[in-house]
Structure 1
């Protein structure tokens, strides 16, 4: 059965999509940008602060669905600048138990919504 997942603890969708959809014990989380869920504003301070906010947004959606980072199967990281890879990678890794990382790709893109530096989507098990 398909279920829509929505929480006020993560930014609300800025277009015609859901924060996440669960289907047959699999959770598909839409790409999260570094928006503060309380204000809708993009966090300031650079790619490190943005990455932490993205991971907090993912965590809020995982928790709303009854899951957690240890159940992540696959992530996709989109960077505005591949020179930010090391910083993003270090922060991203800190949210997972060592050795229990999901499959992943990281790509540089020409532009991201609201001109942010990082966006991350995720597939997880419930």
Structure 2
């Protein structure tokens, strides 16, 4: 009889410990599945963009896809465009896109689609000249473009991108 109660206690504690470990592992597995699930959605921002009090996320991640909001050629963290016209704005826009992508686990080489919005379609060639320096000729993203009657901050160009995440 003296040996039965300690034995029962050991069996009970061992079962409880095993159940606790299994429950933790199950929660961890669920968490991992959610983070890699194609249905998981993350609304992403950074101090750089939240400091400007803008009413949108800089990017949204859905599964392994990253959707960037439209990006301007502004000085990072400020509602002020770089000076120098369409070429300078396009260069700054692409640098801003590069920074946002890298901050959220992607890169320029993982962009699959861009939408170009131009205040003046006559700027098309000058914008392309700069834009193309950011990609290899064999890996150009799909792209569309449209002329806009006005862009935020009186920008000449705004670019919206979709990329995969590493």
**Superposition TM-score, scaled by structure 1 size:** 0.92
* Match of residue 62, structure 1, among 85, 89, 101: 101
The two structures, once aligned, show a CA RMSD in angstroms of 1.7
* Match of residue 84, structure 1, among 123, 135, 141: 123
* Match of residue 135, structure 2, among 96, 109, 117: 96
Aligned residue for 1:49, secondary structure, equals: helix
Higher CA-based Rg: 2
Runs of 4+ in 1 over 4 A off after TM superposition: 8-14
More strand by share: 1
More helix by share: 2
Q: Unaligned regions of 5+ residues in structure 2, if any?
A: 1-39
Higher relative contact order (CA 8 A, sep 6+): 1
Answer with 10-19 or 82-91: which moved more. Answer: 10-19
Could you report, residue by residue, the CA deviation over 1:12-43 in whole angstroms, capped at 9, with x for unpaired residues? 66532100010110000000011101443211
Partners of 1:96 and 1:74 lie apart in 2 by: 12
Check if 1:7 corresponds to 2:83.
no
Count of residues paired in the alignment? 126
User: How far does residue 4 in structure 1 lie from its aligned partner after superposition?
Assistant: 2.3
